[in-house]
Amino acid sequence: MTEPLLQTRAICKSFGALQASKDVTLDLRPGEIHALIGPNGAGKSTLIAQISGALSPDSGQVIFDGRDVTALSTTARARAGLGRTFQISALPMEFTVLQNVVLGALGQRGRAFRFFGNVMRDKALLARAEDALEQVGLAEFRSFVTAELSHGQRRQLEVAVALTLSPKAFLMDEP
Ligand SMILES: Nc1ncnc2c1ncn2[C@@H]1O[C@H](COP(=O)(O)OP(=O)(O)OP(=O)(O)O)[C@@H](O)[C@H]1O
Ligand SMILES: [Mg+2]
């Protein structure tokens, strides 16, 4: 059997007296799709946060692509190929669809900051962004302001932003 791309080993996380994750062990192999289901407050977002690095587990490990990433930041994990989308969208609403995706593509390159005008003329970034928009079916909305999109389209846009990282594994919180 192929080696898992992503593993959690006995992850535990408590908030005071509330244990949100208890010994969560899972394997994700290349090409697999898993859904995590549970009622409100079951601990789904908390688990995703620990896998992506936004929260540290109290104990246990996250192994990604052959290495222990438990101590790595969200940025380092994203650069290593762990993509994610959020339960509550964090996209700047005043930017156009294309601008939002280009910003995502910029993060993949690891540039700290460049003026937006220059970024939007960068052919390689634009190509990567257009490709991601094509993949999620939003190409024709590229010039729309993000606020004009429906809720569902914003979720698609989040996926496009994450795809610019060419993730090896992809976590979606309530897509
Ligand atoms: N930062 C925090 N501090 C304290 N308690 C928290 C924190 N984050 C989550 N919790 C609690 O941990 C439990 C799990 O929450 P979590 O958001 O992971 O659930 P969920 O399965 O994603 O729920 P939903 O379906 O509503 O998104 C809940 O009881 C929640 O109130
Ligand atoms: Mg949640």
Q: Say which DSSP state 102 is in.
A: H
pLDDT at residue 165 in the model: 85
Q: Per-domain residue ranges for the chain?
A: 6-80, 97-172
For residue 153, is pLDDT > 60?
yes
pLDDT at 26: 96
Structure-token pair, residue 23:
């010994």
Mean pLDDT of the region 5-10: 98
pLDDT band at 133 (very low <50, low <70, confident <90, very high): very high
Give the Å distance between the CA of 48 and the centre of ligand 2: 9
DSSP secondary structure letters along 28-95: E-TT--------TTSSHHHHHHHHHTSS--SEEEEEETTEE-TTS-HHHHHHTTEEEE-SS----TTS
Q: What is the structure's pLDDT at 114? A: 59
Residue from 36, 44, 47 to probe ligand 1 pocket by mutation (most atoms less than 8 Å from CB): 44
Q: How far is CA 20 from the centre of its chain?
A: 21
CATH of domain 6-80: 3.40.50.300
Q: What pLDDT score was predicted for residue 79?
A: 87
> What does the block give as tokens for 96?
């156009």
Which of 18, 24, 52, when mutated, tests ligand 1's pocket best, judged by the most ligand atoms within 8 Å of its CB?
18
Q: What phi and psi values does residue 77 have, to the nearest 5 degrees?
A: -70, -40
The reported pLDDT for the residue numbered 110 is 58
* Res 31 pLDDT > 70: yes
SS3 label, residue 135 = helix
